[in-house]
Structure 1
């Protein structure tokens, strides 16, 4: 038998997992890492997404091919124009308006036909049909696909177990929480059934459920689909939130497997820098500059792929960073995308801080930056990917949430883990961007300067925060190493699917 025939025979005996991520950078990136981790365990992996999203991760596709990892990247046609979305808007962060988020999410089931068409094609390399479907929880339509294939469907959850369990409690106690909040006249109330004294205000509660009937209908669809899932994968590790892993599993009655931090999939700088998209800056120049900075002295400021600040807020943020006197890296995607008319101010600002500050106009290799020893603090929107990357690298955070799970993530960082300081933003806007031409300032330059000082120094409390962050970093690395809790979690997923396959 020749080598090609040997490969064909070998493939037919291997487990084949089908992964369907949500098309949004914060959801795509960890699922790509998950795909690569599964492939290193001798699992055949099909990663299905749209053409635009596939082009954005081309360096990862090329690297997977060069390393002979058994991953196939499949294009699924997404007819955005048919549902009134602008051409090419195949990811949440590409939408020109937050008003299009719900239409985008409601259009996701249009991916079902192209996915099923792909699955009907006979495979020339002997790959068997998938024995497991892992989908983002937002891809609710995959429940029907798994049912037709008669295979288990596992949900991949981007947020923490802390958020998932608090989210469950808020929905469970919705009426009494709303009544208590109304009685508190805009104050905060204690969230019940938690081991930590967690107080929530209207922003945390309203971020979980919306009064908009269209949003409520969508969230109910997600809830029903989640109930039919066979298990849950969470991009976190047990040692970070042990009580919440246990309670969330009990509350759902499903196996809940830790598989993170997935950002620790590879330590090589070039691999970390390629996560998500091609960097908008020359990485060699960026890391040469970082190499010249004092250990722990640099502040990273970044708000993820979806959040957009107004020009007025960007100006205040810039002045605050300048006044702090500290070296910084600031990701300013709003100007690169022309979401705000401020390129002239940014150019002038860059000249003033030349040598001490670097501005990245677009996509930044965030995980790689956080991993550099010069970085000592992170001003973040509290997206779970960003927070977990900071945890994995032992970096303390200044928390500046804007939407959805970010408010509860802030409470985890500040109240439970005690590795964050609060920026204290008043009345953050729901579901994303401010209008770029609005004169909206929610954090003044003086507040920015003070919070940076507290983040980077902070006296005895600051030292304790940094020490806790380092301890969590070590636990995160241990969790991902062979025999660790997340390493075992992924192996348990594979064993679960293997056993199910024997029964079918």
Structure 2
């Protein structure tokens, strides 16, 4: 279990004080589980229940400290608590992309709330929806039924997020107007809340060593921009069959590849899930790791030319702002799928791997997408490279990110004035 040491990451101890909260134990939840990365998806509702049981402790803390603002995401009861105590502004800080967050406000003409049983709302969005391309296909929209499953005691995932966004004083979004402004405007209109932009909020690269696990020496063996790097984040776990399609797809490309992925479902390691004879066939051409690695340092290595990403929101910003790699998009959860559509259809910076009606990909389609961006004569490859370059220049331009943070702080000050 990965535990983050926030204490050592606090660069401003004179300004930032950390207060420890111990999540109560709930029957059925493993002892010590604190985040969704610690448990399988099937137990996330129990973790939400345990988190909600912090209500009394958080209430006592807020009464003693009386902060000007409280930021929250899944704690939908925070706005009511802040109003009860008085003098505290609540800000819903979205952990989702604005495209995904906007789903909370999609309505059909004959319904008062979005229902997963009628997927047409996202296949054919309402007239005022900000995009006709950043939408889900019918087979993907049907997977949204999880939104209406219990996520904590007596509350669904949908209700938890919707109540938070409509009950707060303002909404914070980790994005910039140039890329997702239309979605933020849609949310502001339908929530009747101000949407404040923080910008991408990317930390400075740490220049961590790649020597561990032999990554540095392995990458040095290959030509510049020839290696395909694939990483799926800290929480995504593939089914064994899809994992095998993934590695076989990389083999089909005939390009060197580095895969960083958690052990597939029902296995103890990535190696034990490899197809028969695969390791012998790829030999030194493929390196598969099931541990944490410094992603930015790998993306910036001269040998890496392609990034196959699950389209997590953090990875989206890193890939857009910090690297020059060609992008192949292989999303899994619905939010990541919407991010993939944003990157392929709207920003035109990558190519999404085609999937079937069951949301599954094949080795052939993965290989096709990689070849599409990596082949030197590919027109699509040239197009996404030029568009990626344009967005990177904007996001990495001097003062771009810091200006967003400065404006965000100024808007918080303006909200404080409204309180007096």
Which bracket does the TM-score occupy, shorter chain normalised? 0.7 to 0.9
Aligned length: 411
Name the SS for the 1:353 alignment partner.
Answer: helix
Q: Distance in 2 between matches of 1:246 and 1:221?
A: 21
Deviation at residue 341 of structure 1 after TM alignment: 8.1
Match of 1:326 among 242, 252, 255: 255
**Structure 2 CA distance for partners of 1:361 and 1:175, relative to 1, 3 Å:** same
Residues 365-400 of structure 1: per-residue CA shift (max 9 Å, x gap): 223322334332222222222222211224443222
Q: Distance in 2 between matches of 1:344 and 1:426?
A: 23
Structure-2 residue corresponding to 1:87? 31
Q: Which segments of 5 or more consecutive residues in structure 2 lack a partner in the other structure? A: none
Matches within 5 A, 1:281-320: 282-283=211-212, 285-320=214-249
**Structure 2 CA distance for partners of 1:143 and 1:317, relative to 1, 3 Å:** same
**Structure 2 CA distance for partners of 1:243 and 1:499, relative to 1, 3 Å:** closer
Structure-1 residue corresponding to 2:45? 102
Name the SS for the 2:305 alignment partner.
Answer: strand
Matches within 5 A, 1:297-446: 297-334=226-263, 338=267, 343=272, 345=274, 349-350=278-279, 352-393=281-322, 394-428=324-358, 442-446=360-364
Return the TM-score normalized by structure 1.
0.71
Structure-2 residue corresponding to 1:251? 190
Structure-2 residue corresponding to 1:449? 367
Q: Distance in 2 between matches of 1:183 and 1:229?
A: 29
Matches within 5 A, 1:35-184: 56-58=3-5, 61-64=7-10, 70-80=15-25, 82-96=26-40, 98-118=41-61, 129-135=66-72, 137-147=73-83, 148=85, 150-165=87-102, 167-168=103-104, 170-171=106-107, 175=111
**Structure 2 CA distance for partners of 1:267 and 1:305, relative to 1, 3 Å:** closer
Residues 158-188 of structure 1: per-residue CA shift (max 9 Å, x gap): 22223333x145345585998997899xx95
Name the SS for the 2:317 alignment partner.
Answer: helix
Residues 334-384 of structure 1: per-residue CA shift (max 9 Å, x gap): 159945785274897456434432222122322332233433222222222
Partners of 1:316 and 1:444 within 8 A in 2: yes
- What's the RMSD between the two structures over aligned residues? 3.6
Q: Which segments of 5 or more consecutive residues in structure 1 lack a partner in the other structure? A: 1-51, 122-127, 274-280, 430-441
Matches within 5 A, 1:209-224: 210=146, 212=148, 214=150, 217-224=156-163
Matched, 1:268 2:203: no
**Structure 2 CA distance for partners of 1:452 and 1:477, relative to 1, 3 Å:** same
Return the TM-score normalized by structure 2.
0.83
Greater relative contact order structure (CA < 8 Å, 6+ sep): 1
Q: Distance in 1 between matches of 2:116 and 2:414?
A: 47
Partners of 2:349 and 2:384 within 8 A in 1: yes
Partners of 1:131 and 1:497 within 8 A in 2: no
